Amino acid sequence: MNFGKQLKEGLLTENPVLVQLLGMCSTLAITTSISNGLGMGVSVLIILTCSNIVISLLRKIIPDQIRIAAYIVVIAGFVTMVDLLLQAYFQDIAESLGVFIPLIVVNCIILARAESFASKNKVLPSAVDGICQGIGYTLVLLVMSAIRELLGSGSLAGNQIFPAEYGALMMALPVGGFLTLGCLIALMQWAQDKAANKEGK
Amino acid sequence: MDYKELNLIGSSSPHIRTKDGTAHIMAEVLIALVPALAFSVYNFGWYVLTVTAVSVVGCCFFEWLYRTLMKKNNTIGDCSAAVTGVLIAFVCPPNIPLWIILIGDFFAIVIVKQLFGGIGKNFLNPALAARAFMLSWASAMSTWVAPGSHLPVFGTVDVVTSATPMAYLHENNLQGLMEVYDLRDMFVGFIGGSLGEVSALLLILGGVWMIFRKIITWYIPVSYIGTVAVLTFLFPRGNDPMTWMLYNVLGGGLILGAFFMATDYVTSPVSHKGQVIFGVGCGLITVFIRYFGSYSEGVCYAILVMNLTVWIIDKNTRPSRFGVVKEPKAPKEAKEPEKKKEAAAK
């Protein structure tokens, strides 16, 4: 398995949010500030990597019929750990993310990677896959939350760039989440089309 | 004989040609908007003209910029961006800061129109979508200049504000409204409100001009305004039905929306039957928002919501092909024995 290819897939060609369109709910809901985006992204990155490793280790033991239930149990275990860790050491982030940390249990990125990758591959590639997909997710969250925080409240990671009254309220509201995500997906499609055209020539 | 001089073009039928193109239609719409704009200048002051000019220039600039950057053919000559610019100015308060107008222009042209493929592909009315986005700056978008205030060319911060007729109607204070503005004020336009919506008379004049020039059909405006009129007449909230109905029809953006926004070709149904359904839907939502919503005016959201239903309306009002007779539906009794037979056979 080569790390570069998997990283490229996680970041660009198979990006979990922009191409696979997974994990939309948390993406739209929590990208209101950079600290939220970073907290959520890193949490998912850790949980995804750990659950991928464990599921890959157990892939021959888990009976096929109840595999989803088994995955959920594994994922829920790691989510609980991360949730408690956040509450212990990063209380601000835990409070502002609220219910979306426990909801990572049903985040479809993690379930999809378990089902389509970790259950079919060895431990090391699964761990790398978890890291790459997690980085892809985190990066999109960071870009989205930076755009929304800047346009919505005029600040970037808490530093005021321009006065808040010039900020577009809509960008901080759910509307802004949909708008930003739509524009990013469009940009991604456009870039991929362009790359494909270049290769074709 | 030199055939080239005859300017014959070999193409399939139809061969009758007119000069009507997008630019021609948009120019007619602009002409229809001029009287209302002129009245607005009279009513609010010269700043109105500045806002409209900036909005038109902004829309054309963003259209040109996007098409140039994306290396697409430039569609700036079809005037559709100019019409969008005027309409964005028309739905804003008269003393709107210019930077908000420019952001609205950007949103309408780039996000709503060009990202979906340019003219003819937008799924929402660009001007109204821009207005919905510009409500981000709620205080600037709800500061209503009093009629008769003379805003200077470059605007001013100290303005006399007044409640719009819609605010009175939202509080069900018809008596108070009648003391401030009588019906003649409402009809001619000596009232507070959005830049272009105040003069019902001149907007109707522009709308009738467009119908007369066959730019739009009467189906959407009449069914829209008719629905609002009937509903407000039937449910006057304890006021005199006739007066309540007239104030509701003449106040707010109803006339502007019905003639100039709801009739946008791209975002309205194709068939006449569909257009009536569209108009009635707009009217229903407008009245619902005015009666039960927290906003005092519902025209913008009503048209936006109905824009999203156009594909369903179009799908279900497809006209039958000429000469094709619809098969009559079989009566229910005739079908049921067949089903029983089938069941028995099984």
Q: Where are the domains of chain B?
A: 22-316
Which of A148, A151, A165, A166 is the best substitution to test chain B (most B C-beta atoms within 10 A)? A166
A168 to B135: CB separation less than 8 angstroms, yes or no: no
The reply to whether B138 touches chain A by the CB within 8 Å rule is: yes
Q: Which helix (H) or strand (E) holds A119?
A: none
Residues from chain A contacting residue B138 (CB–CB below 8 Å)? 169
Q: Report which of B346, B266, B282 is spatially closest to residue B314, judged by C-alpha positions.
A: B266
Are the CB atoms for B127 and B58 separated by under 8 Å?
no
Question: In this structure, which amino acid lies at residue A110?
Answer: I
The nearest CA of chain A is from the CA of B133 a distance in Å of 7
Tens of pLDDT along chain B (346 residues) come to: 555 566 666 677 766 767 678 888 899 999 999 999 999 999 888 999 999 999 999 999 999 999 999 888 888 888 889 999 999 999 999 889 999 999 999 999 999 999 998 888 888 999 999 999 999 888 888 888 888 887 888 877 677 888 888 888 888 888 888 888 888 888 998 888 888 888 999 999 999 999 998 889 999 999 999 999 999 999 988 888 999 999 999 988 899 999 999 999 889 999 999 999 999 999 999 999 999 988 888 899 999 999 999 999 999 888 777 777 766 666 655 555 555 555 555 5
The nearest CA of chain A is from the CA of B135 a distance in Å of 8
pLDDT at B150: 79
Residue A59 CB burial class (10 angstroms; 0-12, 13-18, ≥19): middle
Q: How many CB atoms neighbour CB A27 within 10 A? A: 27
Q: How many CB atoms neighbour CB A141 within 10 A? A: 25
Q: In whole angstroms, what is the distance from residue A123 CA to residue B162 CA?
A: 70
Q: Where are the alpha helices (DSSP H) in B251-331?
A: 254-256, 272-292, 299-308, 310-316
Q: B326: which 2 tokens?
A: 């619809």
The reply to whether B137 touches chain A by the CB within 8 Å rule is: yes
Q: In whole angstroms, what is the distance from residue A156 CA to residue A177 CA?
A: 16
Q: Where are the alpha helices (DSSP H) in chain B?
A: 22-44, 47-69, 80-90, 98-106, 126-134, 138-141, 165-170, 174-180, 183-188, 200-212, 219-234, 241-250, 254-256, 272-292, 299-308, 310-316, 332-345
A168 to B136: CB separation less than 8 angstroms, yes or no: yes
Are the CB atoms for B146 and B161 separated by under 8 Å?
yes
Which of A151, A162, A169 is the best substitution to test chain B (most B C-beta atoms within 10 A)? A169
Residues from chain A contacting residue B136 (CB–CB below 8 Å)? 167-171
Q: What is residue B284's three-state secondary structure?
A: helix
B136 to A183: CB separation less than 8 angstroms, yes or no: no
The reply to whether B116 touches chain A by the CB within 8 Å rule is: no
- How far are the Cα atoms of A64, B263, B336 from residue A56, in angstroms, in the given order? 14, 59, 58
Residues from chain B contacting residue A150 (CB–CB below 8 Å)? none
Angle at A125 between CA A122 and CA A128, to 5 degrees: 145
User: Residues A172, A178, A181, A187: what is their CA dihedral angle, to the nearest 10 degrees?
Assistant: -110
Are the CB atoms for A48 and A113 separated by under 8 Å?
yes
Which CATH architecture best describes the domain B22-316? Answer: Orthogonal Bundle (1.10)
- How far are the Cα atoms of A2, B240, B285 from residue A195, in angstroms, in the given order? 22, 67, 45
Q: What is residue A122's three-state secondary structure?
A: coil
